[in-house]
Chains A and B, each alone.
Chain A
Amino acid sequence: MTPPAPAELRVMRPVGPLVISIEGVTKLYQMGEETIHALRGVSLEIRRNEYLAIMGPSGSGKSTLMNMLGCLDTPTSGRYEFNGNDVAGMVDDELAEIRNREIGFVFQTFNLLARSDALRNVELPLIYAGVPRHERHERARLALESVGLADRIHHKPNELSGGQRQRVAIARALVNRPSIILADEPTGNLDSKTGVEIMDLFEDLYDRGNTLIVVTHEESVARHARRIVRLHDGLIESDRLAE
């Protein structure tokens, strides 16, 4: 049984308020003698309930941009505001708070804790958020139900299929009701049939009012998004709505 989502999330908002605003962002890496310009001045705005794909060949700065958007990394220069908060100047623990409250990560390799069951895995962000045990259990269980894993909550990752593991990861991303869900090649480790199922789930999440950012190099995955941003050589090459 899928529990009813909160009422305001069921309302479709084609264009919501601004969530992410970055302007003139650059990122330099020092690799031995060489300085690598991973991002050379990127500006981007993402609004609530958008479904965005970020595409680009390897070395285009796609991963760097994703790390930046996910508050895992800070820009060398430029402005980054997340829900109006200046992220560019934040220190490690402040970034950790933002990641915990505002961002749900979905990784290509799922990144589940091998020795913990699905429920425990999904509870983890709530532990870091300081949610009491009883509420934690309840919310994690609901999140797992919402991705169709109500009957698998006590299975460990090695007792689940690849698609089920990614669903656990998605439940974990959803559980703290983040502002954005950031998925890095979410179907990269799945066969095509399971990949389609996961993309259907993303579609469903989008319909439920979530904001999705999917980083991928697969056109078939990007095609599900409503807007596609293409990177090339550290710059945005194109930013247009998908057909």
Chain B
Amino acid sequence: MGRLLYEFNESVRIAMAQIRANKMRSALTALGVVIGIVAVTLMGTAIRGIDIGFEKSLAMLGGDILYVDKWPWLGAEDWWNYVDRPYVKPEDVLKLNRIIDSTENSELEFAVFSAFRATALKANGLSVSGVFTRGTSADYGRVLTADFAEGRLFTDAEDQAARQVCILGSDVAQALFPARSALGATVIVAGQPFEVIGVLARQGSFLGLFSFDNQMVMPLGAFHKYYGVRNDETEIMVKMKDKNRIDQAREELTGDMRRVRGQQPGQRDNFSINGGEAFKEKLDPIKKGIAFAGLFVTGLALFVGAIGIMNITFVSVKERTKEIGTRKALGARRFTILLQFLIEAVSICVLGGVIGLGLTYGLFAGVKAAMPNFPIEFSLLLVVVSMLVSIATGVLSGIIPAWGASRLDPVDALRYE
């Protein structure tokens, strides 16, 4: 055990001396690894960035919220199976909440109804159209994932009274009231004056597709008053008690909804239960594809670097054949010689890896500073993984020449000039 340690120390010492003695050569060889590691780790930051961006988007939907809709969010190519389903209605929510309340140890907390449409808003001589407008109850406050920049949500009483109050998304507020706070101002919706009682904090867009900032929320009573009760676009948001028990919650909700709808056993569900994980399932293979292709291509750069290391290790073995002979004569075993050259290869690789990682971090910090929303992310895991990759590259590229060196015949090696 002691001997192994001394031999290891000796090998590290030799490797460092070797790198110092051949600075230019070592630097050029390490450069190959630097480029490879920069390519791979940049790809890593991009993949991680996509992941995190996606997680952020999913969080906007609420990780502990299930959505009951007529349509599934994804994968409704066979639309004829869905088109005859009923829309979800406010009555469904009343029944659903009663069932949830009477269920012992329910996985669900409560359900909230919303109806939507696109509307146009006017205020201040300015107007915006295509605003995603939601009519809902005061319970919406308990499932809302966004924070309020200012103001508040309407109360139950305001909802019951169908008060003409509204909450604006940050883009809408910004567009109508560029110079001042929207709070307390009046906006004209459907020809009616609504008082702004709250403004939501900026949220960004969901997967770059749908902006949560281009919205407006009003009491369902007011919504029904001006847009009627027969609305095509409706949904029920259901809050779960424990987001880690999503499968159980989904199962319970399915049963509850079938009761609400009075469906018979054997009948197909006439509603869809949606949630963020539907996107996850859809996008995971795409993410994996991007990751695989990206890492493969950047891996090629690292492979070229590895060939450089292998080459330089072969040169090093050739140059020091006589030294190998001498060491063997003095009692170095095969493994000792193998270790010596492997450590030399690994040292150059780790050197390249550290420099590469440093460069990647620099690039990452630069990009982040210039474009805060660009989806890249640096992590400790990336550091650990790229160090392990560097070591593995060194071992794999050094093993063949080092193995050859360890098998040299001491007589031949000593005679080598």
Judge whether B330 and A100 touch: CB under 8 Å.
yes
0/1 string, A101-128, CB within 8 A of B gives 1 = 1000101000101011000000011011
Are A125 and B334 interface neighbours, CB within 8 A? no
Decide yes or no: A93 and B2 within 8 Å by CB, A73-B411, A128-B7 being known contacts. no
A97, A115, A130: which contacts B21 (Cβ < 8 A)?
A115
Q: A113-B323, A115-B21 are in contact. Are A128 and B411 (CB under 8 A)?
A: no
Is B134 an interface residue when CB atoms closer than 8 A count as contact?
Answer: no
Nearest-Cβ distance from residue A165 to partner chain B, whole angstroms:
13
Q: Interface residues of A toward B: which range?
A: 20 to 34
From 15 to 66 in chain B, residues with beta carbon under 8 angstroms from any chain A beta carbon are 17, 21
Q: Does A172 contact B (CB under 8 A)?
A: yes
Q: Can you show 5 pairs from A to B with CB atoms below 8 A apart?
A: A97-B331, A105-B329, A107-B414, A129-B331, A172-B330
Q: Is B414 a contact of A130 with CB atoms below 8 Å?
A: no
What residues on A are CB-neighbors of B410 within 8 Å? Answer: 72-73
Bound complex: CA A100 to CA B330 (Å) = 5
Identity of the chain B residue whose Cβ is nearest the Cβ of A132 in the assembled complex: B2
Asked, given contacts A73-B411, A115-B21, whether A128 binds B331 with beta carbons under 8 Å apart, the answer is: yes
Q: Are B7 and A99 in contact (CB under 8 A)?
A: no
* Interface assignment of B232: CB less than 8 Å from any CB of chain A: no
Known contacts A67-B411, A72-B414, A130 near B330 by CB under 8 Å: no
Q: Is A154 an interface residue (CB 8 A)?
A: no
Contact B326 A111 (CB under 8 A): yes
* Contact assessment for B3 and A129 in the assembled complex, using a CB-CB cutoff below 8 Å: yes
Say yes or no for A150: interface residue by CB 8 A criterion: no
> Is B333 touching A115 in the complex (CB atoms < 8 A)?
no
Residues of chain B contacted by A97 (CB below 8 angstroms)? 331, 333
Q: Does B328 contact A (CB under 8 A)?
A: yes
B6 at the interface (CB under 8 A from A): yes
From residue A52, how far is it (CB to closest CB) to chain B in Å? 19
Q: B4: nearest residue on chain A (CB-CB)?
A: A130
Q: How many A-B residue pairs have CB under 8 A?
A: 71
* Of the residues B21, B323, B330, B409, contact of A99 by C-beta under 8 Å: B330
Residue A70 CB within 8 A of the other chain: yes
Q: In the complex, which of the residues A93, A115, A128 contacts B17, with contact meaning CB atoms closer than 8 Å?
A: A115
Asked if A96 lies at the interface with its beta carbon under 8 angstroms from chain B, I say yes
Is B322 in contact with A128, judged by CB distance below 8 angstroms? no
Interface pair A92/B333, CB less than 8 Å apart = yes
- A127 x B7 contact (CB < 8 A): yes
Q: When the two chains form their complex, are residues A111 and B333 in contact, meaning their CB atoms are under 8 A apart?
A: no
Is A226's CB within 8 Å of the partner chain B? no
A223 CB-CB contact with B under 8 Å: no
Does A133 have its Cβ within 8 Å of any Cβ on chain B? yes
Distance between Cα atoms of A127 and B410 in the complex (Å):
19
CB distance from A104 to the nearest CB of B (A): 9
Q: A111: which of B17, B322, B332, B411 is its contact (CB, 8 Å)?
A: B322
Q: Within 8 Å CB of B6, what residues of A? A: 127, 130-133
Task: Assess whether A93 is in contact with B330, with CB atoms less than 8 Å apart.
Answer: no
Within 8 A of A (CB), among B305-340: 322-323, 325-336
Contacts of A131 in B (CB 8 A): 6
Query: Distance in Å from the Cβ of A69 to the closest Cβ of chain B?
Result: 12
Q: Report the bound CA distance from A132 to B4 in whole Å.
A: 11
Q: Which of A160-177 contact B (CB under 8 A)?
A: 172, 176
B7 touches A93 (CB 8 A): no
Task: Please state if B3 and A130 are interface contacts (CB–CB under 8 Å).
Answer: yes
Within 8 Å of chain A (Cβ to Cβ): is B233?
A: no
New A-B contacts (11) at CB < 8 Å, excluding given A96-B334, A97-B331: A72-B328, A73-B411, A93-B335, A100-B330, A107-B414, A111-B322, A111-B414, A115-B17, A127-B6, A128-B333, A130-B6
